[in-house]
Structure 1
Amino acid sequence: MPHEGPDAPAIVKPLPPELFAVHGSCAETRWEALRDAGYHVPAERFFVRNHTRTPIVDAASWRLELHGSGLRNPRSFGYEELLALPAVTRDVLIECAGNGRRFFTDQQHQEVTGTPWRLGAAGVARWRGVPLAAVLDLAGITPQAVDVMPRGLDPAYVADGVDHGRVRRPLPVAKALDDVILAYEMNGEPLPPDHGHPVRLVVPSWIGLASVKWVGDIEVSAEPLSSPWTTEFYRMYGGQHPPQGGPPLTVTGIKSAFELPWEAPLAAGRTHVLHGRSWSGRGRITSVEVSTDAGATWHPACLHGGPHLAGAWTRWHVAWSPRGTGPQVLLARAADETGATQPLESPYNELGYLFDAVVRHPVRVINV
């Protein structure tokens, strides 16, 4: 079904350097590119996380196969059949589990492996699709079902000579029946190829891996399921974690980012309005504080009106009038409705997952 060849690009859409930092088969959104983007990140600016490369899938011939021991009525759906079902529209942030990874090294001086994201492997879009629960109901999900495992149509992932197959990762039935959708639109348009065309999962508040792109089949099982993405990858190793690794990662942490270039030049003696966004997989953002003196003092940021959603993000701003010149550091820390606040240091793990500490954002104050 996917149309691909040996020379197919890893990412289909243009990746202008003013919008993206490219990391092999992945592309990180530059935060300054979101300054005028609005609440929803346009598809042309949305980050891309590919294990291999973007497949080109023909919607007309695409089928979603539902199978497994947890179904009474295994069946398949075509694209038009899915579009004909009752739909929902939700604002949801998708974030790679490794977002912020490079700060383990840059700030905490700890060696980690993996794509060296700063904070640009995250984005909110308006997704439209069919609740996964509705599709599972039509396929006759049984009370005995325990796990639901979607699988993508991207090429098989091969690492260190081992073929791990197509990306797939089980969800517990409770999550699958809660708020997960089979999305076919992004910001009011059909999904672009890099973001899962024709259909992808959107799994609110969980790491981006769970939101499988280009989904082609879903296994529903009365027995627990696993894949390399739960047994080997996307678990915590090293530090205080058990030798066999921690449990498979699920809910994302809490983060804040300034809509500024790294080492942005700012004029001394002028008032600058610093903008940013904060988010948490645990719940709604309730407050954001900003420090312009490397953490000596903190000042409340003004949270913008509009959606303050669990599983999305909150926009904010604060005014700053720098007086001296030279390098300075900006800090932003958020709190969510569970009482969680960004720490000054994130617990270490070898693969650099779930960095949630306050990020030290460098700027240059200059005379003009």
Structure 2
Amino acid sequence: MSDAREGRREEIEAILDRKPGTSETRDETERYTAVGAASRATFGNWLTPIEEHFVLHRNPIPDGDADSWTITLVDDGETELSLAELIEELPTVAVAHTMECAGNGRGQHDPETGNVQWDCEAAGTALWTGTPVSSVLRAAGVDVDTDEDRWLTAIGADSTDEEAFARSIPLSKALDDCVLAHGMNGQPLPDEHGHPVRLVVPGWYGVNSVKWLSELRVMDGMVREGSLDRPGSHARWQQDEYRIHAAGEEPAENETVETTGTWAQLEAGGTAPYTFDETVMSLVGRPTGEDARTQGTIEVRGVAWAGDERVERVELSTDDGDSWHDAELFGPDYRGAWRLFRYDWEADPGEHRLLSRASDERGRTQPETIGTPEESFDALDDGRYPWNEGGYAANAFRPNGVTVEVTD
């Protein structure tokens, strides 16, 4: 076993020891540290405990000393802010955010794509405590009132001399609701979640919430190859990976996009949409299907989310899709975070397949299945999610069903 693989194995085992509600996820290329929720019960609650929240990163966790940590901000000039200054001198807020890996559901593709073979376990909702990005940029002297058409590029301290881990989001989104988080669910940010500070982008796929944040750059466009004055390649994680494209395609670099809506890019038929905001999604959390239930009234409970959009409706089927019933949305209602849903099911003895499907405020509804490589984006027209080479942004409802045994 190579030193890199041995180090990754040790890191995964340490995370599993700290997070008993997670389990390791299969990684075809052994490039990532990946653990996800171990039980569907995680998706029966609004707040995801740290012990059950999924983790994914590629490079080893860097050493993070909060007392000496600084963030460099680059615009027309360069400013350095310490984490202590962020916490002590700038406002502190808390945001609720459903973080989902853009590869959640990758393992449901047929044929399988490479990398981490997530089923549906790579999602969780936490309360992130930190400093609004708008306050940080103002403190650094950035003219936030006239620069909203520009982009903010975040760079992680897990970058290497060979490659920078850099992601760009529109400056308008950063100013709207993003935070530099140093706390999670009322506790200091854990190492594997970006200690001592990370960017949190509510409602957007996890790759945009750069961990171990070391640098922020205000730029005229998205990060592209050669656009950063630092060694190594720059654009892989923005322009190559986390793009939705057919097998064999090589996505072209873009300076900007007309819309950051992932689903809107898919509907527009554009080339290789970027994975920014999360597509509409739902999961049944309870019953988990792990144990038999007794006939009678069973509360079916789960979660639904839709990125920047609101969840408008959740439907539930207890007979594998033959009939559907409206579930009740309840509990906290925060932009960028999932909603709880419930349905009282009068269960008869036998084996039952439970399915849920959500719709957002724009009328977009989860597709039933994932299409084939040959169908490409045309699959959307027939109620299937497009198979894509990276296995990104999948939200088909049928693969996420749960089988429940009901006894007398």
Aligned residue for 2:139? 138
Counting only pairs closer than 5 Å after superposition, residues 33-182 of structure 1 correspond to structure 2 as 33-34=41-42, 38-67=45-74, 70-72=75-77, 74-84=78-88, 85-105=90-110, 110-142=111-143, 143=146, 146-154=150-158, 156=160, 165-182=163-180
Q: Give the 3-state SS of the residue equivalent to 1:44 in structure 2.
A: helix
Q: Give the 3-state SS of the residue equivalent to 2:341 in structure 1.
A: strand
Query: Structure 2: how far apart are the matches of 1:35 and 1:242?
Result: 36
Aligned residue for 2:309? 283
Judge which range, 41-50 or 230-239, deviates more.
230-239
Q: If each structure's helix is expressed as a fraction of its own residues, which one has the higher value?
A: 2
1:151/1:168 contact within 8 Å kept: yes
Structure 1 residue 112: deviation in Å? 2.2
**Mapped pair 1:273 → 2:299:** yes
Pick closer, same or farther for the CA change 1:243–1:54 going to 2, 3 Å.
closer
Aligned residue for 1:319? 344
**Mapped pair 1:367 → 2:407:** yes
CA shift digits 1:232-291 (9 cap, x unpaired)? 101012179886551322111011111147653333533321211111114111221100
The total of aligned residue pairs comes to 349
**Mapped pair 1:232 → 2:271:** no
Structure 1 residue 196: deviation in Å? 0.9
Query: Structure 1: how far apart are the matches of 2:278 and 2:123?
Result: 11
Structure 1 residue 48: deviation in Å? 0.3
Q: Give the 3-state SS of the residue equivalent to 2:394 in structure 1.
A: coil
Judge which range, 10-19 or 289-298, deviates more.
10-19
Aligned residue for 1:251? 277
Equivalent of residue 327 in structure 2, options 301, 305, 322: 301
Equivalent of residue 201 in structure 1, options 196, 199, 202: 199
Equivalent of residue 37 in structure 2, options 29, 34, 46: 29
1:206/1:281 contact within 8 Å kept: yes
1:31/1:260 contact within 8 Å kept: no
- RMSD of aligned residue pairs (Cα, Å): 2.8
Query: Structure 1: how far apart are the matches of 2:325 and 2:19?
Result: 33
Unaligned runs of 5+ in 1: 157-162
Query: Structure 2: how far apart are the matches of 1:83 and 1:225?
Result: 28
Query: Structure 2: how far apart are the matches of 1:17 and 1:175?
Result: 31
Aligned residue for 2:267? none
Structure 1 residue 207: deviation in Å? 1.3
Q: Give the 3-state SS of the residue equivalent to 2:40 in structure 1.
A: helix
1:96/1:122 contact within 8 Å kept: yes
Structure 1 residue 15: deviation in Å? 4.4
Aligned residue for 2:388? 349
1:322/1:365 contact within 8 Å kept: no
Pick closer, same or farther for the CA change 1:333–1:222 going to 2, 3 Å.
closer
Q: Give the 3-state SS of the residue equivalent to 1:343 in structure 2.
A: coil
The runs of 4+ residues in structure 1 deviating greater than 6 Å are 239-243
Pick closer, same or farther for the CA change 1:279–1:211 going to 2, 3 Å.
same
Aligned residue for 1:192? 190
Unaligned runs of 5+ in 2: 28-32, 225-234, 253-270, 369-383
Q: Give the 3-state SS of the residue equivalent to 2:57 in structure 1.
A: coil
Query: Structure 1: how far apart are the matches of 2:17 and 2:43?
Result: 18
Question: Equivalent pairs: percent with the same residue?
Answer: 33
1:71/1:139 contact within 8 Å kept: no
Q: TM-score, normalised by structure 1?
A: 0.86
Pick closer, same or farther for the CA change 1:102–1:15 going to 2, 3 Å.
farther
Query: Structure 2: how far apart are the matches of 1:224 and 1:358?
Result: 32
Query: Structure 2: how far apart are the matches of 1:53 and 1:359?
Result: 35
2:288/2:404 contact within 8 Å kept: no
Structure 1 residue 224: deviation in Å? 4.6
CA shift digits 1:17-74 (9 cap, x unpaired)? 96223125110113434267x422111211101112323311111111112xx334x2
Amino acid at match of 1:210: N
Aligned residue for 2:15? 13
Q: Give the 3-state SS of the residue equivalent to 1:296 in structure 2.
A: coil
Aligned residue for 2:263? none
